[in-house]
Structure 1
């Protein structure tokens, strides 16, 4: 009975009810998007770092991986020591450099020297992977993996050969060292912006191209702990810090904290806008229910006069707020998911961001908790008008209704 009366009351003014539901839907969508923004960056970055299971990054002392052009000397000994530790499952060394592309549409390409059997920087989407090291000899093209942006920018296709060079003299148009490579694979690079052309070569090839000064250097090494829990990873990190004083070992948790410090503005913005959306939903429901109660003072007085108890009136008005909030939240859920996908597409196009990074990420627990909070807030918004409705003086309300 109460449900029927509450629904009939809302249908009495369809335009007003529809506008209120739309307003609550916008508030719910804003709240959902802000929750997805606040939790999405953290979880997306965590997922990005753990794509291949590596929980630790070893970088030059005092720097973040690829935060500068600094490299680590004595890489062979460091990697060997890490691989000898029984608590470490795998180690992936890498050396980043910019190599020239003579006679190509783009003058240079960001290149990664990797060991293909342990690399954690890309996933092969098409073609064949590169070899672990330069076992083919200087006269045979070296198989390499490139991303889609490289193929588009250079106009090349898998199977083509080209020359990469280092130590280029711009005036004499000569290169100190060069190698012919064959594009054998297309990869999706996790940590490189999608619009940036990138090439992966065997680590030994990149070292030989860069010259004797780089014969035993690396930019970063990724390590996978045998124990995946925080305590196990931290134990390995502490061991690296103790035994390898020339490098900095960064765990996934530490990297996430450092990134959150840099992106704290987004989290603060999400918190403020989320609080505003809760307030908007509360005020919309409170305003509409109050208008409804004021218009029906005589009707409510009649119900009280024929024996309806206060708690019956209270429940009916509460149901109106509940129905409004529920309808708005359901519509807001759909609207929020659509706008989050749209906004995520815009933000992912910002230059310098990894191709696999997402700003908005669906988190069921956080999303349902936030929407449930909005539902409770909207339902409680009818508390004051419901109490006023239940406390209407019967005789005076009937007289005013008759005179009106």
Structure 2
């Protein structure tokens, strides 16, 4: 028996207890992976959705809490448009609402004549035109989920809209969004003089120095507001920090519970294997070697739980993202860093849980252990 095969034999000898402990660790890891992955996914999706519309910079309220709580005054638009190297400025009004009280989607209001309408990738229908009564363009994914076609009606913000076009965007957020003329949405939300943000398009060609110079001038033109690229805007939304903090707190609590489960399993194993440990000590195994034996068992269970948990977390994210209730708002994202964090957690929790049982095993005297048979 080697120091690797002996721990494996010990775990296999009590399969049900080992399996339950591994599953406990796996659920803890899955919770961490799913919570952190979904939070990062929503953040990245929101940034890519705005970036896809052709904006280079975003002007928003400082320290906005969630995706739609930012407020910038309409009167700020002319000052932004007057900044050198700015090609176009468009106010955007965002809202999260339900479509036919069936799916949660992002509703975006764009002004008539905005550059945002220019490159809408229509696959059916047309863009709204003057004279349309409550027109809307749906992303292809949400249109399919709701089984909607051009000419159908969909209720948004308690108002029936007529679908005039369906667009195939590249970002998940836009694929599950509804784009409407700004004026109607402002009326529904009673926000005639305010936008959620301004999207700014700079003159081409672009280079890093030109973008930095334009950003500096825009900051001067919009004192008290935040100017940044789409990723910086998404990172500034405070609700993502809150969600990450919640995810870490819940994960730490669950990981502590997993560590206790490891300790309980190995402590029972030490009590049941008193004779075996006594024989090893009688054969000349040093306390340090016995300690290492029990710790390896904890590491094995943690590693198995970690791998299973990462797979379960990824599957949980996919399942959550496919629900109609969360269409377009929840986007799975599994990064190497989140996997590394999960594995760091389990490889700390496992050995920590195994420390006390391992210490107990080293305290057994060979003669006393052999007398317990």
Q: Which TM-score applies when normalising by structure 2?
A: 0.69
**Residue 73 of structure 1, CA deviation:** 7.7
| 1:160-309 pair list within 5 angstroms | 183=164, 186=167, 188=169, 194=176, 197-199=178-180, 221-224=198-201, 226-227=206-207, 235-242=213-220, 244=221, 248=225, 250-251=227-228, 252=230, 255-256=233-234, 258-260=236-238, 262=239, 264-309=241-286
SS in 2 for 1:223: strand
Q: How has the CA–CA distance of structure 1 residues 314 and 45 changed in structure 2, closer, same or farther, with 3 Å as cutoff?
A: same
Q: How has the CA–CA distance of structure 1 residues 308 and 65 changed in structure 2, closer, same or farther, with 3 Å as cutoff?
A: closer
Structural RMSD (CA): 4.7
Match 1:385 to one of 347, 357, 362:
357
How far apart in 2 are the matches of 1:250 and 1:294? 63
SS in 2 for 1:392: coil
How far apart in 2 are the matches of 1:227 and 1:69? 27
Given that 2:290 and 2:361 are in contact with CA atoms closer than 8 Å, whether structure 1 keeps it comes out as yes
Given that 2:295 and 2:354 are in contact with CA atoms closer than 8 Å, whether structure 1 keeps it comes out as yes
| 1:307-326 pair list within 5 angstroms | 307-326=284-303
Match 1:146 to one of 113, 123, 137:
137
**Residue 65 of structure 1, CA deviation:** 8.0
Q: How has the CA–CA distance of structure 1 residues 199 and 34 changed in structure 2, closer, same or farther, with 3 Å as cutoff?
A: closer
Q: How has the CA–CA distance of structure 1 residues 121 and 8 changed in structure 2, closer, same or farther, with 3 Å as cutoff?
A: farther
What do residues 75-99 of structure 1 show as CA deviations (whole Å, max 9, x unaligned)?
4x853x34x42xx5x53535769xx
Given that 1:28 and 1:281 are in contact with CA atoms closer than 8 Å, whether structure 2 keeps it comes out as no
Q: How has the CA–CA distance of structure 1 residues 17 and 250 changed in structure 2, closer, same or farther, with 3 Å as cutoff?
A: same
The count of residues paired between Structure 1 and Structure 2 equals 334
How far apart in 2 are the matches of 1:62 and 1:286? 44
Q: How has the CA–CA distance of structure 1 residues 122 and 338 changed in structure 2, closer, same or farther, with 3 Å as cutoff?
A: farther
**Residue 120 of structure 1, CA deviation:** 7.4
The answer for unaligned runs of 5 or more in structure 1 is 98-108, 163-180, 211-216
The answer for unaligned runs of 5 or more in structure 2 is 95-106, 154-161, 188-193
Larger-gyration structure (1/2)? 1
**1:113 matched to 2:89:** no
Q: How has the CA–CA distance of structure 1 residues 5 and 121 changed in structure 2, closer, same or farther, with 3 Å as cutoff?
A: farther
How far apart in 2 are the matches of 1:288 and 1:61? 51
Given that 2:137 and 2:166 are in contact with CA atoms closer than 8 Å, whether structure 1 keeps it comes out as yes
**Residue 296 of structure 1, CA deviation:** 1.0
**Residue 222 of structure 1, CA deviation:** 1.8
Q: How has the CA–CA distance of structure 1 residues 227 and 280 changed in structure 2, closer, same or farther, with 3 Å as cutoff?
A: farther
